[in-house]
Amino acid sequence: MSTILIRGAKVLGGEARDVLIEGETVAAVGTGLAAEGARVVEADGLILLPGLVDLHTHLREPGREDSETVLTGTRAAAAGGYTAVHAMANTFPVADTAGVVEQVWRLGREYGYCDVQPVGAVTVGLEGKKLAELGAMADSAAQVRVFSDDGKCVDDAVIMRRALEYVKAFGGVVAQHAQEPRLTEGAQMNEGTVSGELGLTGWPAVAEESIIARDVLLAAHVGSRVHICHLSTAGSVEIVRWAKSKGWDVTAEVTPHHLLLTDELVRSYNPVYKVNPPLRTEADVLALREALADGTIDCVATDHAPHPHEDKDCEWSAAAMGMVGLETALSVVQHTMVDTGLLDWAGVADRMSARPAAIGRLAGHGRPIAEGEPANLVLLDPAYRGVVNPAGFASRSRNTPYEGRELPGRVTATFLRGHATVMDGKLT
């Protein structure tokens, strides 16, 4: 059994404490701890948080191993401080059967960099027509609890209603990609002043908000819970805030890029800024930050979407939508939420670990840093300043919008059940 002593880390950003890890478990938290033969990690000035949990990751395996695999994606996750990621269902074949979800889940366990919790498709083939075997996926070894057709909206109101009702039987949740399809045909970017000038087909905020409004009402009607993926507009925040005020079981996530970037960047026509939902306006960004701070938005989810170089090295309308995010998420959250005074580190632990784990019903993650708890931890240096260089990514893809941008913070160590997946800032 390995023993690790983290010395002098600010637990959740508070007072410096020593944390002793024995085997897979936190054995003690205190001051002046000592342990014979322990590996000592000096953590003076560093912050210790529970290992991060991502509700929204695209690992691309099976089917698009040219952009990411479970191995490269979980290494990227570990490098970014994550100990668990939810792998989205839009693979080839689609994760709509127990067989596919178990395969993805097993690969994650085998590689050991990060727990991989598969998300099951809501409908067969993500086609929005026929419910997938949600129960079989829930009962499989992967114990799927989050179901999503992400990339596509479950736009049929009856299918959405049935899915919301059906998953109640096993504590599941439907994570909706809110995008009214008719209002977004051919959409290339946020619909607003910039799209009008650039002559790019607009993706209006109302296409997101109208689906969210419908779905919170449906969830309330059938007494189920609904989770809103990558919420991106100020109007969506207002709807979720209203739904929560009614006491309905509605949760929502925001991506790091929607906390920082705006549609003004599209003026470059550089497809690295092409993402779905699209980058919105400054007013939206500020509303999202405020909503994350006050808890209206429950968590940060990366929507890590790797794409091969050629899918971005082209004209805007031909380019794929999406950005990688696992290795920059914590830095962007520090930059937009912590350094701005909107959220403290305990808040970051809540929004990036505890709440996403709770939404995903994921045992062993998002736990307090206390004796007897599983040693899923991340140690980070908030004083670090560095320029993002995608050449150093563990992800197989490089489609980051932050290349060349200076961002704060750096993960120095990640522990998955006591095993260091990252040490001294490097993958082990």
Partner 1 sequence: MKRHLISAADLTRDDALLVLDTAEEMARVADRPIKKLPTLRGRTVVNLFFEDSTRTRISFEAAAKRLSADVINFSAKGSSVSKGESLKDTALTLEAMGADAVVVRHHASGAPQRLATSGWINASVVNAGDGTHEHPTQALLDAFTMRRHLSGVGRDLAGRRVTIVGDILHSRVARSNVLLLNTLGAEVTLVAPPTLLPIGVEQWPCQVGYDLDAVLAKSDAVMMLRVQRERMNAAFFPTEREYSRRYGLDGGRMAVLPEHAIVMHPGPMNRGMEITAEVADSPRCTAVEQVANGVSTRMAVLYLLLGGSEPALATARAEEPRPEEPRADDARPDDVPTEAARTEESK
Closest residue by Cα to residue 204 from 218, 186, 216: 186
Kindly tell me which residue out of 51, 202, 256, 366 binds partner 1, with binding defined by CB under 8 A: 202
- 198 or 220: whose CB is closer to partner 1? 198
CB-based contact 40:77 (threshold 8 Å): no
Binding to partner 1, residues 306-365 (CB under 8 A): 310-311, 313-319
Reduced to 3 DSSP states, what percent helix, strand and coil does the chain have, rounded to the nearest 5?
Answer: 35, 25, 40
> Could you say which of 54, 115, 263, 303 is catalytic?
303
- 67 or 376: whose CB is closer to partner 1? 67
Residue ranges of the annotated binding site for substrate are: 58-60, 90, 276, 307
- 143 or 201: whose CB is closer to partner 1? 201
Residue 215: CB minimum distance to partner 1, A: 25
C-alpha distances in angstroms, 156 versus 12, 17, 178, 214, 252? 43, 52, 12, 11, 20
Residue 267: CB minimum distance to partner 1, A: 9
Kindly tell me which residue out of 196, 223, 372, 392 binds partner 1, with binding defined by CB under 8 A: 196
C-alpha distances in angstroms, 158 versus 179, 193, 226, 358, 383? 16, 35, 15, 27, 50
Residue ranges of the annotated binding site are: 56, 58-60, 90, 150, 177, 230, 276, 303, 307
204 touches partner 1 (CB under 8 A) = yes
CB-based contact 254:231 (threshold 8 Å): yes
CB-based contact 230:304 (threshold 8 Å): no
- 50 or 192: whose CB is closer to partner 1? 192
Q: Which stretch binds partner 1 (CB under 8 A): 157-165, 166-174, 197-205, 247-255?
A: 197-205
199 touches partner 1 (CB under 8 A) = yes
Residue 335: CB minimum distance to partner 1, A: 27
**Rounded CA separation 148/33 (Å):** 45
Torsion of CA 352, 294, 178, 207, to 10 degrees: -140
311 is catalytic: no
CB-based contact 315:269 (threshold 8 Å): yes
Kindly tell me which residue out of 269, 321, 346, 384 binds partner 1, with binding defined by CB under 8 A: 269
**Rounded CA separation 191/278 (Å):** 9
How big is the CA angle at 52 (ends 47 and 57), to the nearest 5 degrees? 145
264 touches partner 1 (CB under 8 A) = no
CB-based contact 73:304 (threshold 8 Å): yes
283 touches partner 1 (CB under 8 A) = no
Residue 273: CB minimum distance to partner 1, A: 11
Q: Is 281 helix (H, G, I), strand (E, B) or coil?
A: coil
Structure tokens that stand for 104 in this block: 């993805």
Q: Which stretch binds partner 1 (CB under 8 A): 54-62, 173-181, 200-208, 341-349?
A: 200-208
**Rounded CA separation 401/324 (Å):** 8
The single residue listed with the structure tokens 């839009």 is: 90
- 57 or 67: whose CB is closer to partner 1? 67
206 touches partner 1 (CB under 8 A) = no
Binding to partner 1, residues 163-192 (CB under 8 A): 188, 191-192
**Catalytic residue ranges:** 303
Residues that bind partner 1 (CB under 8 A): 188, 191-202, 204, 268-270, 310-311, 313-319
